[in-house]
A and B are shown apart, each in its own frame.
Chain A
Amino acid sequence: MSVATRRPATLNALIIAFLVIWIIAAAFPFAWTVWGSFKVEADFFSRQSWWMAIEGTRTQAQTGASFTLAGYEGAWVQNEFWRAAINTLIVTVSVTCISLTIGTLGGYALARSGYRYAFWILIAALIFRAMPHITLVSGYMLPFFQLNIWGVLPTTIIVLVAINQPFTLWMLHSFFLSIPKDLDESALVDGCTRFQAFRMVIIPVMWPGVITTGLFSFLLAYNDFAVTSMLLSQENQTMVPKIASFLGSIQNEGNVMFAVAAVVSATVPLFLLVLFFQRQIVSGLTAGAVKG
């Protein structure tokens, strides 16, 4: 760095101070909740002092150790949170796979069609992307009741795939635009059909874009509350609506720690996702931004 651009010490100090405050704001709520999930309610929601949550005074008095797994046991064993976890696994994996399959085909077509209607489909997708999910849900409820398909996992999966499509199409469309046209067109010249060109030329080179898009499809399905809470029956609930229903039923019994433990459990996969796919997530957001 040249002398002209070296920062004065005060500016550096300010920058560091700002970043430290931000990092605390971003990370501390998670750290605090993870820590607190191993305590009893009287410590985590201490009326006397938050220091008790750190030392675990009541936890020690009630369980004999500074840490307790009571919250986790209550959530996973007593309230069968594992069922919700399995449902979440089914829903997220299916949604990701299906939306990527049909989204890749659609995005590829949009990127290679020079016609006006491709543009209009993208604009329609943009409008659809802006629709609040709960308004769509209020459109589903009555027809689904009538057709008797309310409450089961497949319905929710298809709905989430559809809600996911606008975003998936946009993202894969801009990704396929970045793959040179010559690549598949030379395959066409060599006598391939479109499908063959797609299968043999495009599929081998599309994985970076597909993985990035897949991460966001996964996140959408995993993070959804509006659709899953309204369209799934009690026994088919995924993790997020399950946590919400914990709150309603447990708070009175003084077992809010079950919900805290469930929340921490549901955060772990997201944490791992960011840990392993940070680069893809960042590049995905950026790609959407630069092209969008």
Chain B
Amino acid sequence: MPHRIFFMFIFPSILAMVLFISLPIVSVVVQSLFVQHEAVLITVENCTPFGCESQTRVDTEAMERLREEQPLGRFAGFANYVNRNHLAIDEIGAILADNQGFGDVLSRVFNLPLYKALSFTLVYCFLVTPLAMALGFAIALAVNTLPGLLKGPTIFVSILPMIITPLIGSLILAWMFNPSGILGASLQSLTGDPTLSLRASPTLTWIVLLLYGIWTNGPFSFVVFYAGLQTVPQDTVESARIDGASRWEVIRHVVIPHLAPLATFVALVQLMDNFRVFEPIVGFSAEANATSLSWLVFNDLVGQDSQLFGSAAATSVVTIVGVLILLAPVLRRTWREFNRKAV
């Protein structure tokens, strides 16, 4: 296809992506170097018959003007990155200089907003992905043994947790885990602890969020692995059985190697999606016990009268760097394969 025609075909697509994906990334980087204006304070004298008192308050007019002139805020260099809400260089230095052992360092570092969010994001990403894949694989194996008539309805029910809007799915589960919801109340009576609730227990919050992740991500692996199972060479399976391989050995040595390329694909997609975990934090109102990088950005942006664009942008840049690190092995492999093919 000639270059000119290729670009005519692809131009709208590229334009959309450049305008709304590339430029925003540039915009985020620029914004992260600025902080919002400091409040302009003025002192007014309030005189009443009983005497005068001076009052300090925010000069809204001057603030408006300042915002108009410099919408980005004040230039701050890397101040956004190193402050307490982000990389917290000073705080970490202080913790390292004065602490009571390794456990103390960890607990104090993970109390800093960014590290707290990072810890949950990574735990979610790297626990939910393999567990959901394992669940999906198990469901695929089980569904594959069902008689044809039952397969359709089972698949229908199985993909519901995946197709559901993340916010809605997490709300549905959050209501059930509410202390007066069916699961929350049952948990309380099972453990005999009437104060047990998501709000009160960080451990429970983490477990429930991870369970939600596995519940909603499992079906994707299931669908892909189920389709993969249909292409497993039956001759190989049968000859392995005749040679005396057990069911488990067939799965281990025939089925799993056959599905390995699919598993890489699923793992890649799920890692990307799980790294941006966000809606469950809102749905479960879990922010006191668990936050994620995406939630931090959201939280900075959602402030009604003072949106912290600089702070949100700095967290975004950190998140984007995280995504790139996550993608690096894949990109490197693709690059190598591409070069091999080209040669």
Interface residues of A (CB under 8 A from B): 4-5, 7, 11-12, 15, 18-19, 22-23, 25-27, 29-30, 32-33, 44-47, 49-50, 53, 101-103, 105-106, 108-110, 112-116, 118-119, 121, 123-143, 145-146, 158-159, 161-163, 165-166, 169, 194, 198, 219, 222-223, 225-226, 230, 240, 243-244, 247, 256, 259-260, 263, 266-267, 270-271, 273-275, 278, 281-283, 285-286, 289-290, 292
> Contact between A106 and B24 (Cβ–Cβ < 8 Å)?
no
Residue-wise, chain B 200-218 has the 8 Å CB interface mask toward A (1 for contact) of: 0000000000000001000
Q: Which of B219, B226, B298 has the most CB of A within 10 A?
A: B298
B340 in the interface (beta carbon within 8 A): no
> Contact between A134 and B278 (Cβ–Cβ < 8 Å)?
yes
Residue-wise, chain B 306-343 has the 8 Å CB interface mask toward A (1 for contact) of: 01010011011101100110110011001000100010
Residue-wise, chain B 233-266 has the 8 Å CB interface mask toward A (1 for contact) of: 0000010011000010000000000000010011
> Contact between A125 and B163 (Cβ–Cβ < 8 Å)?
no
B160-218 at interface with A (beta carbon < 8 Å): 160-161, 163-169, 171-173, 175-176, 178, 180-182, 185-186, 215
Q: Which of B175, B279, B342 has the most CB of A within 10 A?
A: B175
Distance of A240 Cα from B175 Cα, bound (Å): 16
Lowest 6 A-B CB distances belong to which pairs? A139-B24, A162-B20, A106-B13, A109-B9, A132-B276, A135-B316
Apart from A132-B323, A225-B165, A290-B227, what 6 extra A-B contacts exist at CB < 8 Å?
A19-B142, A26-B160, A33-B172, A108-B9, A270-B165, A289-B228
- The number of residues on chain B lying at the interface, defined by a beta carbon within 8 Å of a beta carbon of chain A, is 105
Distance of A129 Cα from B273 Cα, bound (Å): 9
Q: How far is the CB of A191 from chain B (nearest CB, A)?
A: 16
**Chief secondary structure at chain A's binding surface:** helix
A contact residues around B319 at 8 Å (CB): 132, 135
B contact residues around A292 at 8 Å (CB): 265, 269
Distance of A265 Cα from B38 Cα, bound (Å): 45
Distance of A129 Cα from B21 Cα, bound (Å): 9
B contact residues around A126 at 8 Å (CB): 327, 330
Interface residues of B (CB under 8 A from A): 1, 3, 5-6, 9-10, 12-14, 16-17, 19-28, 31, 71-72, 135, 138-139, 142-143, 145-146, 152, 154-161, 163-169, 171-173, 175-176, 178, 180-182, 185-186, 215, 219-220, 223-224, 226-228, 238, 241-242, 247, 262, 265-266, 269, 272, 275-276, 278-279, 282, 293-294, 297-298, 300-302, 307, 309, 312-313, 315-317, 319-320, 323-324, 326-327, 330-331, 334, 338, 342
Distance of A68 Cα from B287 Cα, bound (Å): 33
Q: How far is the CB of A197 from chain B (nearest CB, A)?
A: 10
Known: A113-B1, A140-B24, A240-B167. A15 touches B327 (CB 8 A): no
